[in-house]
């Protein structure tokens, strides 16, 4: 067997950490064994590091095209790779929204050659969407039942049901911002508790119920789930679920300011703790950062005028790895939610150290915990709500067999490719 590289060390293979030698050829894993012969390069990661599959973030907003002052694909993907994220799925609410073949192809053209990680771009679900033509171009579709950044709201069942039916007929999964817009208030806000009052938990529950009434058992992913009750509804309907760290770590009483304004909102401490407990119990399918950067100046406006959203692609998985380091959650849960589950849900050949999968790896020294400093992060927005929290960043990141980060420093090139061509 001709091998370009053999990567050696403690690796997460078949659900456990074990010594493995991983044979790589032309960007793919071609052999996994205790002892492999050959290899032009033999790289020993040593006994102090662990080799994990590269992470996937199935929910980012890199603001490209249309809002480059907040983020573009180059800066957003650079932030991603420093977290060990080797593939991202970008949401369609850019300017213009990626809602038809023309806008999706224009977005792809703009991104090509500028990403540090592999990527896919979602298409928006809109009335009369031509899902059949869009499906080969995208890993999934995004439905916005609640208003947020961008103007692609679709919450009327007379238009929603036929559009979603067309999307699901393609076999592609549909991610949903599940907040029933008709149940939202429009009163002036001065803090996150006011924002919560305008976007109650009942709006999440009703949106999921409506989807369940029409599409139970179908390929639907509920994004940024915020409540244990919403989780129960989604699970009962057979939907996959996605959770953010900010909904599990922040609450309206301790985090009242604009930095924590996000859609859907952070909630009270009891709701937050119940959601974290469900996460730690393994009840949620996958992580998604919902990386939604805005400039420092935008977030510094009066609360009511400040945009909702916060960055997280560079901090989500490193914080999770610190939870693993402190034995709060098992490594197997972090790997399942951060690599395997999103890759499986969206049909991407990543997320496992197994023959036939892309040779994407995030290598961690679990002794290397540090505090998050926004000045050291790579997002253009320049701020983080997770400032000061403990995190374990990867020492080495490899994408399709090529080292992109070593010693926590970028050493590769913008070689990310579109997973849908």
374 DSSP 8-state letter: G
By residue count, the chain amounts to 421
SS3 16: strand
Contact between residue 176 and residue 221 where contact means Cβ atoms under 8 Å apart: yes
Contact between residue 268 and residue 252 where contact means Cβ atoms under 8 Å apart: yes
> What is the edge-to-edge ordering of all strands in the sheet holding 123-124?
123-124, 140-144, 173-177, 220-222, 240-243, 286-287
Both tokens of 221, joined, read: 């992913």
**Whole-number Cα distances in Å, 396 to 61, 80, 199, 373, 392:** 25, 13, 41, 19, 12
Q: Name the strand (E) or helix (H) holding 382.
A: none
Residue 192: half-sphere exposure toward Cβ, Cα within 13 Å: 24
* Residue where the block lists tokens 């940024």: 224
User: What whole-number distance in Å separates Cα of residue 384 and Cα of residue 386?
Assistant: 5
Point out the catalytic residue in the list 100, 180, 219, 290. Answer: 290
> Can 290 be counted among the known catalytic residues?
yes
Contact between residue 98 and residue 92 where contact means Cβ atoms under 8 Å apart: yes
Show the 3-state SS of 268-311: CHHHHHHHHHHHHCCCCCEECCCECCCCHHHHCCCCCCCCCCEC
User: What whole-number distance in Å separates Cα of residue 276 and Cα of residue 152?
Assistant: 30
User: What whole-number distance in Å separates Cα of residue 231 and Cα of residue 240?
Assistant: 9
Q: Taking Cα atoms as reference points, which of 244, 242, 264 lies closest to residue 196?
A: 264
Q: Centre a 10 Å sphere on the Cβ of residue 270 and count the other Cβ atoms it contains.
A: 10
Could you list the active site residues?
290
């Amino acid at each position: 067997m001709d091998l370009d590289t053999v990567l050696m060390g403690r690796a997460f293979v078949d659900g456990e950490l074990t010594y493995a030698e991983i044979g790589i050829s032309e960007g793919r894993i071609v052999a996994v064994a205790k002892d492999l012969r050959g290899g032009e390069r033999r790289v020993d990661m040593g006994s102090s590091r662990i080799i994990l599959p590269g992470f996937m973030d199935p929910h980012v907003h890199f603001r490209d095209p249309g809002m480059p002052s907040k983020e573009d694909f180059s800066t957003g993907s650079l932030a991603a790779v420093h977290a060990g994220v080797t593939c991202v799925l970008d949401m369609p609410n850019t300017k213009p929204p990626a809602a038809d073949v023309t806008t999706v192809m224009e977005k792809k053209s703009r991104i090509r050659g500028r990403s540090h990680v592999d990527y896919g771009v979602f298409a928006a679900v809109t009335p009369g969407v031509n899902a059949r033509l869009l499906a080969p171009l995208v890993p999934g579709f995004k439905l916005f039942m609640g208003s947020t950044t961008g103007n692609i709201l679709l919450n009327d069942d007379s238009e929603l049901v036929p559009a979603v039916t067309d999307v699901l007929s393609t076999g592609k999964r549909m991610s949903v911002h599940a907040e029933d817009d008709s149940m939202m208030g429009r009163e002036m806000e001065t803090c996150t508790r006011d924002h919560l009052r305008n976007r109650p938990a009942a709006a999440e529950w009703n949106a999921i119920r409506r989807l369940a009434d029409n599409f139970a058992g179908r390929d639907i992913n509920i994004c940024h789930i915020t409540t244990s009750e919403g989780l129960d509804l989604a699970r009962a309907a057979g939907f996959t679920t996605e959770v953010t760290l900010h909904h599990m770590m922040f609450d309206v009483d301790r985090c009242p300011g604009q930095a924590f304004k996000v859609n859907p909102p952070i909630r009270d401490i009891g709701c937050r703790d119940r959601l974290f407990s469900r996460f730690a119990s393994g009840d949620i399918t996958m992580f998604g950062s919902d990386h939604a950067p805005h400039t420092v100046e935008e977030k510094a406006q009066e609360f009511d005028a400040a945009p909702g959203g916060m960055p997280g692609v560079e901090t989500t998985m490193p914080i999770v790895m610190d939870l693993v380091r402190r034995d709060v959650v098992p490594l197997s849960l972090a790997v399942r939610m951060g690599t395997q589950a999103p890759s499986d849900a969206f049909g991407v050949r990543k997320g496992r150290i197994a023959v036939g999968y892309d040779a994407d790896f995030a290598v961690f020294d679990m002794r290397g915990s540090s505090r998050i400093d926004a000045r050291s992060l790579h997002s253009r927005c320049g701020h983080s709500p997770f400032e000061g929290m403990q995190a374990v960043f990867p020492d080495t990141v490899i994408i399709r067999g090529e080292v992109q980060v070593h010693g926590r420093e970028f050493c590769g090139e913008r070689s990310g490719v579109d997973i849908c061509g």
